[in-house]
Amino acid sequence: MNDKELNQYLQGTIPINEKWITELERYAKENRVPIMEPVSMNFLQQIIRIHQPARILEIGTAIGYSALRMLQANPGALITTIERDESRFTYAVNEIKALNKHEQINVIFGDALEVAEEITNQGPFDLLFIDAAKGQYKRFFELYSPSIRKSGIVISDNVLFKGYVANPSEDNPRFSKIAGKINTYNQWLINNESFHTSIVPIGDGIAISIKK
């Protein structure tokens, strides 16, 4: 069984989603908005169900899909999420209000590299989810991980980046360049003595870092 067949099998094990989820997924596909893969999202939700983080910080709101799905896994959580693209920010805010989740999900408009002081002052957080500009993962981690409490979790998505991290290709130099940056981040993360990190080959690759 190859990776594609395995992923298809795993997707087949995921329960049927509610209408609002499938509509968000359809919108993302039609408008080429990057959102978390279904298998990865299901895995992240399971982590949240196990650890029940009360306060979650997300770097990269996009259209609000992952924030809403994380809240679905722990309905009592409070989520702060940051988005720098104005059209996606607006869409996320409207979607969150339409689902009546605006009291639990606070969407911040801005560049995560520029609003860090404002956000970290709201900590500590129990979980940090990084899913934004891939070349900036290390900076995001350095800026925001100090606001994660002891034994808190940092989740980094796309750390295997379409397989290019493990198998760079000259056929797509842009992807290989991004993969090189992610590989540098992965190596730095694994050797970060303040965290226990494991990389899980689910979806596009997920790094789980637990603060010591």
Binding residue numbers for S-adenosyl-L-methionine: 36, 66, 83, 111-112, 131
The one-letter amino acid code at 193 reads E
* Residue listed under structure tokens 């607006």: 90
Output the known binding site. Answer: 36, 66, 83, 111-112, 131, 157-158
Whether the Cβ atoms of residue 159 and residue 130 lie closer than 8 Å to each other: no
Torsion of CA 92, 96, 99, 101, to 10 degrees: 160
User: Cβ contacts of residue 144 below 8 Å, gap of 6+?
Assistant: 57, 59, 112, 116, 119, 120, 128, 130
Tokens representing residue 195 in the block: 């965290």
Output the known binding site for Mg(2+). Answer: 131, 157-158
